[in-house]
Structure 1
Amino acid sequence: MDNKFSDNWNVWYHHTKDNWTIDGYKKIFKIDNGVDFWKLYNNWESFGGITARHFFLMKNDCQPVWEDPINMKGGCWSFKIVDSMASELWEDLSVLIVSNELVQGTTALGLSITLKKNNTCVVKIWNDDSNKNSIKYINKNILKKWGTDIIYIAHMAENTIG
C-alpha cells in the first residue's frame, strides 16, 4: 500500500469543545499514499491515541462539518462500541475507505471517531447521499465482523431518516 491513492485524505481533529464551526477543527495530516497512511496509523499514540480526541479522516476538500456543501445532503452510519475495540474498528474502516472499498453504490466522504461516556466510542462513516442509508451499501466484511447494530443519521433535518 505505498502507491498513490485516487483521492487525498485529510486528518482533522476537533480541538475546541464548544465551537462546532469549522474554526473549532484543525487539519493535522494529509494522506495521499500508503506509506503516509501507515506512518500516521502507527503513530496515533503521539496524538494521545485514537480515542483521546475527536478525529476525522475526510476525503479531498470535504470538511468535517455537516454544513459543508459536500456533506449537506449526506449523513453517516454510526457504530457504538467499547473503547477497547475502537482502534481495531478504525483501522478496518480506514484501510477500506482510502482504498475506495468501504461502501458501494454511494460515496464515502470520511470517518469520525469520538470517545463517549462509559468507555464507549462512536465511529461514523460519512456518505454524500442520505437517501442511500441502508447498511447494504457498507462492505460486507465489515458487517460480518462488526455486526449490523448500526444506525444512520442524516446531516440535515429535512433528510432525517427514522
Structure 2
Amino acid sequence: MNNNFDNKWVLWFHNKNNDWTIKGFTKAYEINTIADFWKLYNTWENTNQLTNKHYFLMKNDYLPLWEYTENGGCWSFKISETNAYHLWKDLSTYLVCEILCPTIHNEIVGLSICLKKNNYVIIKIWNTNSKNNSLKLLNEKILKQWGIDIIYIAHMVDK
C-alpha cells in the first residue's frame, strides 16, 4: 500500500513581527505521507496559541507569498476562534488528499490561517487562477458543513 501523497506539502509559519519577504517565514514541517500528516495534526497547536503567527500549508515549492501566485487568489473563511481548528483540520485533510476543489485540484496550492482581533480567525484556500473563483468549485461537504462567511479575493500585485 502506497501511503505517499501525489504532492509534497510544506507547513510554514510567519511571526507577524517579521517582515513579509520569504526571509520572515520559517519552514516548519514537510508532509510527504499520510503518517507525516497525522503526526503533525496529533501535535498541532490549538488556535488559542496562534497569537502573532500565521501558518501556511503550501504545495510543493509554492512559497507562502501573496505575490507568488500573482494571477491567483483565495477563498477566505471568517470563523470564530473556537471553530477554527476544526475547519483548518477539515480543509487541510481535503487539501492533502486533493479533494478540496475536485475539478480544479491542480490549481489549489495552499491554505493559510491567521488569528485576528475580536476572537475570529481567517482561513484562506489559495489557488493559481483567479478566474476560477466560484464557491461551487469547493468540495460540497465543506460548503454544507462550513458554508459560513466565505468570499473570494483575487491577488492584486503592485507593479
Same fold by TM-score greater than 0.5:
yes
How has the CA–CA distance of structure 1 residues 81 and 148 changed in structure 2, closer, same or farther, with 3 Å as cutoff? closer
Q: Which has the higher helix share?
A: 2
Distance in 2 between residues matched to 1:122 and 1:19, nearest whole Å: 20
State whether residues 75 and 126 of structure 1, in contact with CA within 8 Å, keep that contact through their aligned partners in structure 2.
yes
State whether residues 75 and 153 of structure 2, in contact with CA within 8 Å, keep that contact through their aligned partners in structure 1.
yes
Equivalent in the alignment of 2:96: 98
State whether residues 135 and 148 of structure 1, in contact with CA within 8 Å, keep that contact through their aligned partners in structure 2.
no
Moved over 4 A (4+): none
Q: Describe the superposition over 1:28-52 as per-residue Cα deviations: whole angstroms up to 9, x where unpaired.
A: 100011101000011113xxx3451
Secondary structure at the aligned position of 1:118 is classed as helix
Displacement after TM superposition at 1:24 (Å): 1.0
Secondary structure at the aligned position of 2:117 is classed as coil
Distance in 2 between residues matched to 1:16 and 1:125, nearest whole Å: 20
One-letter identity of the residue aligned with 2:89? E
Distance in 2 between residues matched to 1:93 and 1:16, nearest whole Å: 23
Aligned-residue sequence identity (percent) comes to 51
Displacement after TM superposition at 1:73 (Å): 0.8
Displacement after TM superposition at 1:16 (Å): 4.7
One-letter identity of the residue aligned with 1:103? C
Equivalent in the alignment of 2:150: 150
Equivalent in the alignment of 1:72: 70
Distance in 2 between residues matched to 1:15 and 1:41, nearest whole Å: 20
Unaligned runs of 5+ residues in structure 1 are none
